[in-house]
Structure 1
Amino acid sequence: MNTDKKNKIEILCPNKKCPKCKRFIAFFEKIIKENKTDAEIIIITGLKELLQYKTWILPTSYINGKKVSRGYLPKNEEVLKFLI
């Protein structure tokens, strides 16, 4: 895995405190740590920002601008293929 560039992981969720969103955040933090990947997790909660993504299923995750999952936790392998 190339660590020269920083990955951008966006998690769209209406509220950081909801159990499903907490699981998403913890899941991506764990993958970053286990794979020693340079990545920034951005939590998007604002209505205006959420509407720009044109998805109604939340939480949704994007890695480097590509949709990875909507409403479910992706498999580790799925996530790793999107990371730089």
Structure 2
Amino acid sequence: MCLCLVCFQANWEPNFEPYVVVPRNVSRYDPRFVGFGWNKVSHIVELHAQGCEFIVLPNVFMIHLPHAPSLDIVRFRSSNNLRR
């Protein structure tokens, strides 16, 4: 296990989809996104375009609780047309 003691910068790259903690005045998700897909990627692209830096904090964790797949992800995974 690596215990990081200092913050470090993470460089943006296509399809980068981290969970982020940002101040309230930072651009929010585009409200037109509903269901599954690309909301976090789009948000991170917007933050990158605005010149935001992505900093990894040492010994800080977020927990993503498992949940059943949404109907939208089931449709996406089963449709060749949607995955193009």
Work out which of the two has the higher radius of gyration on C-alpha atoms and give 1 or 2: 2
Between structures 1 and 2, the one with greater strand share: 1
TM-score by length of structure 1 reads: 0.25
Between structures 1 and 2, the one with greater helix share: 1
